[in-house]
């Protein structure tokens, strides 16, 4: 989330963070908002938020957003993000399909996970 907040705030990136549940997505967005809230005042004045962060998104006044979404390839299709971050990719249902949805539109895809079987583990062992 540090990388997501940095890229959205400083480089106006559209970041989608996909995880296994809506609750976890809310927690990740909340962490990103906490990072912003605890910055020095001059940094917040330099890059103010467009409005107060919602449970699933943070948006900066001059561009840059973070969205948290639960698993599912059809949820990801709603966005054309600069960056997609998959949280616990080994345990996301439809990870491979979601990756394939993100690949044509995202400039950067980051998948993090603890060990587990599936498409993410297959990619790691290539």
Q: How far is CA 126 from CA 43, 76, 107, 120, in A?
A: 42, 25, 22, 10
Sheet holding 65-70, edge to edge: 57-59, 65-70, 14-19, 83-87, 108-112
For 20-29, letters b (16+ CB in 10 Å) and e give: beeebbbebb
Whole-number pLDDT of residue 77 = 85
β partners of residue 65: 14, 59
Whole-number pLDDT of residue 126 = 62
DSSP 8-state assignment for residue 78: T
Cα separation, 88 vs 41, in Å, equals 33
Q: Tell whether domain 2-124 is in CATH 3.40.50.300.
A: yes
Helix axes 22-37, 2-11, angle to 10 degrees: 60
The pTM of this model reads 0.89
Q: Running along the chain, 126 residues long, what does each successive block of 10 average in pLDDT?
A: 96 96 96 95 95 94 95 85 93 89 94 78 69
């Amino acid at each position: 989330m540090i990388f997501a907040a940095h890229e959205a705030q400083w480089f106006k990136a559209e970041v989608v963070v996909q995880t296994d549940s809506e609750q976890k997505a809310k927690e990740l967005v909340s962490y990103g908002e906490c990072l912003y809230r605890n910055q020095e005042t001059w940094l917040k004045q330099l890059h103010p938020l467009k409005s107060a962060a919602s449970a699933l998104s943070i948006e900066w006044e001059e561009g840059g957003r973070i969205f948290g979404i639960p698993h599912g390839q059809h949820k990801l299709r709603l966005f054309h993000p600069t960056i997609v971050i998959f949280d616990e990719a080994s345990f996301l249902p439809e990870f491979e399909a979601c990756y394939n949805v993100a690949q044509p539109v995202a400039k950067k895809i980051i998948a993090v996970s603890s060990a587990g079987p599936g498409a993410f583990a297959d990619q790691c062992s290539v």
